[in-house]
Chain A
Amino acid sequence: MKTKLKIEKIKYQGASWLIMLPGIALFTFFLWFPLLQSIRMSMYRTVNIQLVEFIWFDNYITVFQRTEFLQALVNTLSYTVWSLLIGFLIPIFLALVIGETVRARGVIRTAAYIPNILPGLAAIILWTAVFSAGESGVLNIILGYFGIDQRSYLTERNLVIPLIVSVATWRGAGATALIYMAGLASINPQMYEAATIDGAGIWKRLRYITVPGIFNLGSTLLILQIIAIFQIMFEPMMLTAGGPDNASLSLMLLMWQYAFGGGTMEFGRASAVAVIIASILLVFTALYSMVNKRKVDWDN
């Protein structure tokens, strides 16, 4: 009897692992193994796809000495700051405004969400036309009505990063606003009524009930947003190709350019950049799990 149970148990274990095996194999091939290879490759001198010579951290040293890397690092920080200024507050604002509506609420919510469902590439190409220089550029036409002179927006060093962040915000804000709206809806309505009886006006209710009600959600989404914007790549790639004069080059785009841009295939260097990005992101994530302790349960 006992041995029979034991056999049953072993069978169960085997079958369970067998069921998980295809998934594990795919994760290994597409994610885990390439990640380790990236780390390994970053310490090799590469010619095309061949690993030629183990050179310890030489790739990292060369990368750090390149002006474009330092520029990309500074730019990426600048992206982050701008996305906090533009991208963090707009979804909250959207959620608050849409939350106050009764009529046509569904329509407004859908409209705000639609940019998010467009393929990213299509949306970005669309914006290149909006920003394009000359008289048929959409922004030039619109601002022309207000008597503002034509400009070539994406070639101005000081404007590119905020403009690219605006495009990213246009795409993402509606989806983030939906999450905030769910957060707002979960605030107990009786709190508002109780506060009103105690004499709180609209502003006071906003300040003392609504804002604290979504504060936790906000801090979570803030860090998630920093992590997301740190990986920005398609937007500068399509809108400016990192220009003018590397003014909008991001770290991720630099990695892409080292690897696949200009036909040089500097895979070793690209991997070094990749590892640097991953390390920075892991720091952010550690921060995230500290803020979000009660939610992340690593052991399950």
Chain B
Amino acid sequence: MAKIKKERTGVIRNFDMKSPGAKVALVIIYILCVVIVVVSLFPIFWVIMAGFKELREFMVSTAIFPQRFDFSVYSRTWSQLNIFRNYTNSFYVIMGSLFCSLIFNGLLAYGIAILKPYGYKVISKMVMFTLLVPATISLVPLFINVTSLGLGGSFVPLWLAAGANAFFVVLFRQFFESLPFSLVEASRIDGCSPAQTFFKVVMPLSKPIFIVVSIFTVNAAWSDFLLPFLILRGSELETVMVRLFVFSTEQTVNVDDLMRAVVFSMIPPVLLFFIFQKWLTENIVTVGIKG
């Protein structure tokens, strides 16, 4: 079995491999890695297993594995809590958020990065300033405003809220600034209006950043529950996270049902992650540092 020897890229190099000390160190490192993997994944593994347990078994059992692998327990919680409806609601929130997030943040960044009309710096600075102040702080007045406009119990404020994300604007801006300006100039000379330039030149050239922001937006729209809770609670439109939050605070909640609801809420982001895994681990890093 011929194996290509890979280059070591850490502190310990290939030429160290002769020394016994380095070998011992590597053994310890791999043991630590096993610990890392177990600590990271065990709680998730545990909750999936716990989901198979009925309430009584859940309360007394000290075993990790359930007595039986019975999927009907999962499907019963699924239908009893009507989680499918919450899934559909979350889907609507995600779709609307995706549209608003890409278009409105993208256009604002396009203005700041490329069009640069008189006074754009003021807007740019104000966007940067919002990065510094957590959005949660202005939750109270926002909630009051939304309610007094009669937009409570509707998806619209959640969709539009996705269109005001300073982090995304900064991501877009950094990417747009790295585009060759000559292309934008050329399209203007060819008679494109600024809007046409955005949709016909800038957007097709910026696929990578649009994908990154899409993934972030989908994940945020799925996971967010503060504003959705304040706006949607008690209505027919509760998303999965709102439902989970409300459910977990109820006095009469069955812990085993709660665990299954947790599993249901974890499935879509995990799927999304594995689809875009390669993309994410390579791109988020650079994105993370810059942002």
Q: Which residues in A have some Cβ–Cβ distance to B below 8 Å? A: 12-13, 15-17, 19-20, 22-24, 26-27, 29-35, 37-38, 41, 49, 94, 96-102, 104, 106-115, 117-122, 125-127, 129-130, 134-136, 138, 141, 144, 170, 174-175, 178-179, 181-185, 189, 192-193, 196, 202, 205-206, 209-210, 217, 231, 233, 238, 252, 255, 259-260, 267, 270-271, 274-275, 277-278, 281-282, 285, 298-300
Q: Which residues in B have some Cβ–Cβ distance to A below 8 Å? A: 6, 8-13, 15-16, 21-22, 25-26, 29-30, 32-33, 36-37, 39-41, 43-44, 46-47, 50, 58-62, 100, 103-105, 107-108, 110-112, 115-118, 120-121, 123-128, 130, 132-142, 144-145, 147-148, 160-161, 163-164, 166, 169, 177, 193-195, 198, 219, 222-223, 225, 230, 241, 244-245, 248, 255, 258-259, 262, 265-266, 269-270, 272-273, 277, 281, 284-286, 288-289
Do B132 and A118 touch across chains, with their CB atoms under 8 A apart?
no
Do A122 and B62 touch across chains, with their CB atoms under 8 A apart?
no
In angstroms, Cα B125 to Cα A120, docked, is: 30
Given contacts A13-B118, A110-B281, contact A98 B289 (CB under 8 A): no
Do A94 and B16 touch across chains, with their CB atoms under 8 A apart?
no
Partner of B108, one of A20, A106, A182, A189: A20
Given contacts A13-B117, A24-B108, A175-B288, contact A135 B43 (CB under 8 A): no
In angstroms, Cα B195 to Cα A207, docked, is: 53
- Per DSSP, are chain A's interface residues mostly helix, strand or loop, or mixed? helix
Do B33 and A108 touch across chains, with their CB atoms under 8 A apart?
yes
Do B22 and A202 touch across chains, with their CB atoms under 8 A apart?
yes
Do A26 and B285 touch across chains, with their CB atoms under 8 A apart?
no
In angstroms, Cα B117 to Cα A206, docked, is: 50
Do A108 and B133 touch across chains, with their CB atoms under 8 A apart?
no
- Complex interface: chain B residues within 8 A of A174 (CB): 40
In angstroms, Cα B256 to Cα A136, docked, is: 12
Do A260 and B230 touch across chains, with their CB atoms under 8 A apart?
yes
Given contacts A98-B36, A117-B270, contact A238 B248 (CB under 8 A): yes
Given contacts A34-B145, A205-B11, A281-B132, contact A259 B138 (CB under 8 A): no
Partner of A281, one of B134, B141, B273: B134
In angstroms, Cα B138 to Cα A37, docked, is: 8
Do B163 and A170 touch across chains, with their CB atoms under 8 A apart?
no
Partner of B266, one of A15, A119, A192: A119
In angstroms, Cα B6 to Cα A96, docked, is: 18
Residue of B nearest to A104 (CB): B33
- Complex interface: chain B residues within 8 A of A19 (CB): 107, 110-111, 115, 194-195, 198
- Per DSSP, are chain B's interface residues mostly helix, strand or loop, or mixed? helix
- Complex interface: chain B residues within 8 A of A233 (CB): 136
Do B223 and A119 touch across chains, with their CB atoms under 8 A apart?
yes
Given contacts A16-B115, A136-B62, contact A122 B164 (CB under 8 A): no
In angstroms, Cα B262 to Cα A82, docked, is: 28
Given contacts A38-B137, A129-B259, A174-B40, contact A118 B30 (CB under 8 A): no
Do B160 and A119 touch across chains, with their CB atoms under 8 A apart?
no
Partner of A112, one of B36, B132, B139: B36
- Complex interface: chain A residues within 8 A of B13 (CB): 192-193, 196
Could you show 21 A-B contacts with beta carbons less than 8 Å apart?
Answer: A15-B193, A16-B111, A16-B194, A20-B112, A20-B123, A22-B103, A100-B12, A100-B29, A101-B29, A108-B37, A109-B281, A117-B270, A126-B262, A129-B259, A178-B288, A184-B10, A196-B15, A205-B11, A210-B11, A255-B136, A274-B138
Residue of A nearest to B34 (CB): A108
Do A32 and B130 touch across chains, with their CB atoms under 8 A apart?
yes
Given contacts A15-B195, A118-B269, A119-B241, contact A202 B21 (CB under 8 A): yes
- Complex interface: chain B residues within 8 A of A112 (CB): 36-37, 40
- Complex interface: chain A residues within 8 A of B47 (CB): 126, 129
Do A178 and B281 touch across chains, with their CB atoms under 8 A apart?
yes
Given contacts A30-B160, A35-B137, A97-B32, contact A115 B245 (CB under 8 A): no
- Shortest CB distance B269–A (Å): 5
- Complex interface: chain A residues within 8 A of B164 (CB): 23, 26-27, 29-31
Do A49 and B133 touch across chains, with their CB atoms under 8 A apart?
no
Given contacts A179-B289, A298-B128, contact A231 B134 (CB under 8 A): yes
- Shortest CB distance B260–A (Å): 11
